[in-house]
Structure 1
Amino acid sequence: MRLFSMPSSGNSYKVRLLLALLGREYDITSVEYQTDALDSAKADGRLPFGKAPVLELDDGRLLPESNAILCWLGEGTPFVPADPFVKAEMLSWMFWEQNQHEGVIAVRAALQIYEQRRHLATPERMAELLERGHQLLQIMEDRLSKQDWLVGDAASLADICLYGYTHTAGSLGGFDMTRFPAINSWIQRVAALPGYVGLKA
C-alpha cells in the first residue's frame, strides 16, 4: 500500500497512527501543502478529491478521506467494536469529528501555522473559533469524564479519529486545555497504546 500523506495534517496523521498501531507496512509519499509533490499527485490523479490523505491499495485502487481509510483499515480489528450499536456510536463520533470538530479545532490551528492563511486570522474570526472550539471540546470532556474511551471499553477508531487534532488543540490551536482534565488523561491513554507514533514521527 502507499499512503499519500500531508505531514502537518491531523487527517493524514490519524491514518499513519492507525497503520502504526496495527503494525501494517506501507510506503508513503509526502504531499505537503503548497508543494510540487502535492501538485504532481493531483496531476497524476492520485488525489481523487484533490487533497490528502489517500490510500493506494496494492491493486491500484484509491481510497480518499481519512475516516473512510480508518474504517477500511480497521475492519476486523479490535479498533472496530463487534456490537452493532457501539459500532454505530463509533461512527457517530467520526461523523461529528468531520462535520463539527475538524472545521473549528483544525481550522484555528491552520490559520496560525500556514503562512498563506494568516491573513484570514482576524481577531474576530479567531475569537469565534476559540469560543466554539471550547464548546466542542467540552462535549468530549463530558463524555470522557464518564468513561476512558469515547465508545465501549477499549480504544476504537473514534478515539484515533478525534485524537488527530485534539492532541494539538492547545499547542497549535491555542485552546485552553487546562479546562479539560478528562481529555488530557485520554490523550495520555492514546499515547500509551502499543505501536503509537507521534505527529512528527
Structure 2
Amino acid sequence: MLKLYDYSRSGNCYKIRLLLNQLEIVYQRIPIDILQGESRTPEFLAMSPVGKTPVLEISPGQYLTESNAIIYYLAGGSDFLPTDRWERAQVMQWLFFEQYSHEPNIATVRFWISILQQAEQRREAIAQKQQLGYAALEVMEQHLTKHDYFVGDRYSIADIALYAYTHVAEEGNFDLSKFPAILGWCNRTTRQPKHITISAT
C-alpha cells in the first residue's frame, strides 16, 4: 500500500490526496506536523533530504518527493495525463509554471498570513509576493477565458496542480473576485467526480 507523508494544510500535499481519491487508490496517510519540526527529524530527512512534504512511499525504501513529480507518477496511464505528446508537454509547462511563478507567491503568502499569523511582521515581503501572485493569476485568467481547463479542454493534473493553492488564495488576502474565469474554473473543478476538499481526511 502507498504511504503518503503529508501536512494537512499544505496545498502541495492536497494535490496528492485529491488525485489519489479521484483515482480510487487506497493509501495510508501519515500526518507530518511541519510546525513542530517533524519534517526535520533524521527519519524524515532520510526520506526527503530537503525536509519537505509531501513524500510518497511507493514501496519500502522507495520514496518520491516534489508534489508535481508525485502527481505525474500517479497519473501515468490514466485520463488525468494526456497520451498525446504535445498535450503532455503542455501539462508539464503548467506544472513548471505552478511551481515557479504561482506557488512561491500565492502559497507562501497564505502560509505567512493564515498559518503562521505573521501578516504584520512580513508586510513588505507579502506586498512584493502578492504583486507576483496577481501576475500569475492574470496569466491563468487569460488562458481560462478561452478554455474550460488548462490542457486539451479536459480536466488533468495541470488543473489539480493549479487548483490546490488557487482555491485557497483568499487565505493569503488575494481577491479572486477580479478573476471570473478562474472562479468558473474552480467551480468546474469542484464538480469533478470524487472531488475532496483540502480539509478532508
Band the TM-score falls in, shorter-chain normalisation: over 0.9
Question: 3-state SS of the aligned residue for 2:5?
Answer: strand
Q: Residues 179 and 14 of structure 1: is their aligned pair in 2 closer, same or farther, counting only changes over 3 Å?
A: same
Name the counterpart of 2:137. 137
| 8 A contact 2:91–2:151 mirrored in 1 | yes
**2:47 counterpart SS class:** coil
Q: 2:32 matched to which residue of 1?
A: 31
Q: Secondary structure at the match of 1:23?
A: coil
Is the counterpart of residue 159 in structure 1 residue 175 in structure 2? Answer: no
State the match for 2:184 in structure 1.
Answer: 185
Give ranges in structure 1 of 5+ residues lacking alignment: none
CA 1:28 to 1:6, structure 2 compared with 1: closer, same or farther past 3 Å?
same
Shift in Å, 1:115 = 2.7
Q: Which residue matches 1:83?
A: 84
Residue 137 of structure 2 aligns to which amino acid in structure 1?
L
The structural deviation recorded for 1:117 is 5.2
Amino-acid identity (%): 37
Q: 1:194 maps to which residue? A: 193
Whole-Å separation in 2 of the counterparts to 1:143 and 1:43: 39
- Counterparts of 1:43 and 1:147, CA distance in 2: 41
Residues 24 and 140 (structure 1), Cα distance of their counterparts in 2 relative to 1, 3 Å cut: same
Residue 59 of structure 2 aligns to a residue in which SS? coil
Deviation at 1:145, TM superposition (A): 0.6
Letter in 1 for 2:192: L
Structure 1 position 17 matched with structure 2 position 47: no
Question: How many residue pairs end up in the alignment?
Answer: 199
TM-score where L is the length of structure 1: 0.92
Equivalent-residue separation in structure 2 for 1:120 and 1:66 (angstroms): 29
| 1:11-30 Cα shifts (integer Å, max 9, x gaps) | 00111110011111000111
Residue deviations 1:144-172 (CA, integer Å, cap 9, x gap): 110100010211110000011000012x1
What amino acid does structure 2 have at the position aligned with 1:194?
A: P
Structure 1 residue 109, shift from structure 2 partner: 0.6
3-state SS of the aligned residue for 2:30?
strand
Whether 2:53 is the aligned partner of 1:52: answer yes
1:58 deviates by 2.7
Partner Cα distance (1:140, 1:18) in 2: 21
Structure 1 segments (4+ residues) deviating >4 Å = 39-44, 116-120
Tell me by how many angstroms 1:119 deviates.
6.5
- Counterpart amino acid of 1:48? P
**TM-score (normalizing by structure 2):** 0.92
The change in CA–CA distance for 1:42 and 1:49 in structure 2 (over 3 A counts) is: farther
Give, in whole Å, the separation in 2 of the partners of 1:143 and 1:192.
Answer: 20
Provide the secondary structure at the position in 1 that maps to 2:172: coil
Listed one character per residue, the Cα deviations across residues 109-145 of structure 1 (whole Å, up to 9, x for unaligned) are 11112337556512x2222222221111010000011
Task: Confirm or deny that 1:7 pairs with 2:5.
Answer: no
Aligned Cα root-mean-square deviation (Å): 1.7
Which whole-Å CA distance do the structure 2 matches of 1:131 and 1:112 have between them? 15
